[in-house]
Structure 1
């Protein structure tokens, strides 16, 4: 339980290195992140959690906004008694984990922002839908049944509200307040997150660096889990080494 909600989570692996907590995007669940969780768990302790209203977690009477999602995630981190963790956000999950990093820096060791939304150049429904449609034809066909199951679980209203939150939120306003080591990751063929926007996110976060995963569209954790797991493992270990 966290924030009064029952949250479903998965974990694998166990090492002395900083644990990694993976947070899904708008309207989806942890399902598309599980290939990454499985591979990342071979080298570091890895978690995935469904936020309230998504996947197998309990559904609030009304969809939660970004701030409430962030607070619930922070409560969950405390409830499972994790040490300060590396929070890995995928898509809208990046907006959630940066919220936690700014409001609860004591619970966050580092951030990995994979395909961070939303690019200000696409912050309207027509533009963002067009970008998602262009990206969808580049994603693995195996993603479709997962997305359909996630959208069914979330419900049409919940999906639309989550995407609306991703458009309303100005992540760029809080990125300069992030104080933990940050890795920004973009798929080379991602049409949702432009290269220029990924560069801007990297510039706005003090000390952040950008990595590009070749040949991948937006859903890097599903399409290229091996490559992403290698990047994250190296990042987490380098951060631990820097701390002595």
Structure 2
């Protein structure tokens, strides 16, 4: 838990869900939703920049990070139901949600079956581009993105991949590719920002613009020169974007 303030464990989704927490107890809640194979760990750079004015919680979804998962990997709906159960159990309904990559698909699915739980949303690098919905396309884009990220991200993610294991990773990868996020985005009716690094090969600008158009109340924000994982490799810039959705009394978050 190095760098985090608290390890929180909650009975939810039929397991003992872990969340890493940082920030003042009386500050507005920000909930971070991780992507494929990842965990709370790669949200720490962003949490550190938000923590002066926000209470940041980064839950590990079942089967990832420090949260035990069922023998059979959960699909997108299973993961979003788990997130919904955790939001209810921890009384974090209507918190500002910051999702990365596949986490954006989980949040979009949440909007379909539990819209009452949603607060404002930041979709950081939303996948999967419907124009490149194949394993070959996605793996190629991920490899191209790797040179745009901070070198230490590989170390963090390698540990997370070991935690979840290759079987769960591959099954979740398949579920994410098959998930039609574009059909769910119109259900996300809270204020939303699509955040994208200007050099992100996983989420091309045309796809980010399409995602933004599908949102009832969405806008696009780009970070010049950045890749896909803004929460780790461009946390200051992403914190400014997130800060624009926080309540006015949280104006101290870097903008």
Which of 116, 127, 135 aligns to 1:117? It is 127
Relative to the length of structure 2, the TM-score reads: 0.90
CA separation in 2, counterparts of 1:104 and 1:139? 34
1:146–1:8: structure 2 CA closer, same or farther, 3 Å change rule? Answer: same
CA separation in 1, counterparts of 2:119 and 2:42? 24
* Structure 1: unaligned runs, 5 residues or longer: none
Contact 1:18-1:84 within 8 A present in 2 as well: no
CA separation in 1, counterparts of 2:241 and 2:58? 18
Would you say how many aligned residue pairs link Structure 1 and Structure 2? 241
CA separation in 1, counterparts of 2:151 and 2:242? 25
Contact 1:17-1:236 within 8 A present in 2 as well: no
User: Is 1:181 the counterpart of 2:187 in the alignment?
Assistant: no
Relative to the length of structure 1, the TM-score reads: 0.94
Contact 1:92-1:117 within 8 A present in 2 as well: yes
User: Is 1:202 the counterpart of 2:212 in the alignment?
Assistant: yes
1:158 maps to 168
Deviations 1:45-97 (A, max 9, x none): 21101000101111211101110110110010111112411111100000011
1:236 maps to 246
Shift of the alpha carbon at 1:134? 0.5
* Structure 2: unaligned runs, 5 residues or longer: 1-10
Shift of the alpha carbon at 1:225? 0.6
Helix, strand or coil: the match of 1:113?
Answer: strand
1:79 maps to 89
| Superposed CA RMSD | 1.7
Helix, strand or coil: the match of 1:112?
Answer: strand
Which of 206, 212, 223 aligns to 1:213? It is 223
Shift of the alpha carbon at 1:16? 6.0
Helix, strand or coil: the match of 1:7?
Answer: strand
